[in-house]
Amino acid sequence: MTEDTPDGDSPPDDAETTRTQRTQAQRTAATRAKVLDATVEALVDVGYAGTTTQEVNRRAGVSRGALLHHFPTRESLVVAAVGHLVDRRMSELLTRPRTGDEDIDILLEAFAGPLFDAALELWVAARTDPALRAAMIPLEQKVSDAITTGSAELFGDRYTPDQIELSVELVRGLAVSRILRTADGDRALTRRLLPIWKEMIAGHGK
């Protein structure tokens, strides 16, 4: 005996079900990306203290329920947002055309713009926020792995891992001190110091 269906109706076939699932997955991914982008914007504009779930809701234009479905805590939200930006930023830097003498400049760019500003907000806040600090530990490993992988692509086997790590720490320090310099002062300092550093590591390559 077969089950009757109302006139004009038919059970959904597998292809239709797959399309429905794909559409739902696409909507979910779009909502998640919108929330993460809004979180990064908030971190850059109003800092960690101002990046509340209400602020992210307002910027992303999503309901509080939708946000909490993806990110049940504030810590998980901000950490995921910076991790999302790390992936995107590193991909942009590593896929663009370049010449060999731009390697250090590209590394410096990795510590500039919204990515670094948002991450710096979390680093500073994590010093006195144990919950955020605990959530940041996996992110720091992710960032470290991304930088290590990216640096290996940039430098190849021309430099030792220690030389690459030292280069990363140099550009990180320049990025932090940039906060208290004018744009002209930062450009002047970079033009003065980076050629010296490039010459130093070029003379001590593998």
- Say what the pLDDT of residue 46 is: 95
- Say what the pLDDT of residue 167 is: 83
Residue 9 lies inside a defined structural domain of this protein? no
Residue 78: Cβ within 10 Å count? 28
Q: CA 119, CA 103: separation in Å to the nearest integer?
A: 22
Residue 7 lies inside a defined structural domain of this protein? no
Weakly modelled stretches of the chain, pLDDT under 50: 1, 3
- Say what the pLDDT of residue 125 is: 92
Residue 1 lies inside a defined structural domain of this protein? no
Quote the domain boundaries for residue 193.
Answer: 14-202
Q: CA 47, CA 40: separation in Å to the nearest integer?
A: 10
What is the total count of domains within the chain? 1
- Say what the pLDDT of residue 38 is: 95
Residue 122 lies inside a defined structural domain of this protein? yes
Residue 148 lies inside a defined structural domain of this protein? yes
How deeply is 128 buried, as exposed, middle or buried, from its count of CB atoms within 10 A (0-12, 13-18, 19+)? exposed
Q: How far is CA 160 from CA 141, 204, 205, 206, in A?
A: 20, 9, 7, 6
pLDDT in tens, 79-122: 999 888 888 887 777 777 666 566 677 777 777 788 888 888 99
CATH number for the domain harbouring residue 107: 1.10.357.10
- Say what the pLDDT of residue 39 is: 95
Residue 8 lies inside a defined structural domain of this protein? no
Residue 70 lies inside a defined structural domain of this protein? yes
Q: How far is CA 130 from CA 49, 135, 144, 154, 180, in A?
A: 15, 9, 21, 35, 27
* Ranges of H-type helices in the chain: 14-50, 53-60, 64-70, 74-95, 103-110, 113-126, 130-155, 161-177, 183-202
Residue 5 lies inside a defined structural domain of this protein? no
Q: What is the DSSP letter of 8?
A: T
Question: What is the reported pTM?
Answer: 0.73
pLDDT in tens, 44-59: 999 999 999 999 999 9
